[in-house]
Amino acid sequence: MSEVTATKDRTGEVLPIVRPGNSIGKSALSGAQTFTSTAPDGEAIYVFCKSLIHLAEGTSVTESDAPIDARGGVYLNANRGKQISVRLLAGEDQATVWIHEVR
């Protein structure tokens, strides 16, 4: 597994990533069920799910939102104070999704 050590913030400065921090949500997903996290306090999140997922900012997510492969875990930039919603890609098996702030 490759190690992610940094990403860039909105001003282009390097944001050091040490490890996943406080959990902002965990849920079992199946079918078209959706899950919405609490809002992160920071500008980066870590998402892990054993299945492919759709991910969107806000309280709703659809099949037209970005598909994400978070099976190995993925670090993403996030907007501080905006919730994250996820749902399984059509045809994916039931899985649990974890979303953490990054510290």
pLDDT digits (tens, 9 = 90+) for 49-87: 999 999 999 999 999 998 999 999 998 989 999 999 999
Q: What is the pLDDT of the chain when averaged over all its residues?
A: 87
Task: Supply the pLDDT for residue 4.
Answer: 46
* CATH (one of 3.10.450, 3.40.50, 2.60.120, 1.10.238) for 6-102: 2.60.120
CB-based contact 75:102 (threshold 8 Å): yes
pTM over 0.85: no
- At 55, list the tokens: 């991910």
Identify which of 51, 42, 31 has the alpha carbon closest to the alpha carbon of residue 98: 51
Per-residue model confidence (pLDDT) at position 103: 78
- What is the structure's pLDDT at 17? 59
CA neighbor of 73 nearest in space, from 53, 88, 89, 103: 53
Distance CA 94, CA 8 (A): 33
What single letter denotes the amino acid at residue 28?
A: A
pLDDT at 96: 96
Rounded CA gap, 21 and 102, in Å?
5
Q: Residues of the chain with pLDDT > 70: what percent? A: 85
Which burial class, exposed, middle or buried, applies to 49 when counting CB atoms under 10 A from its CB (0-12, 13-18, 19+)? buried
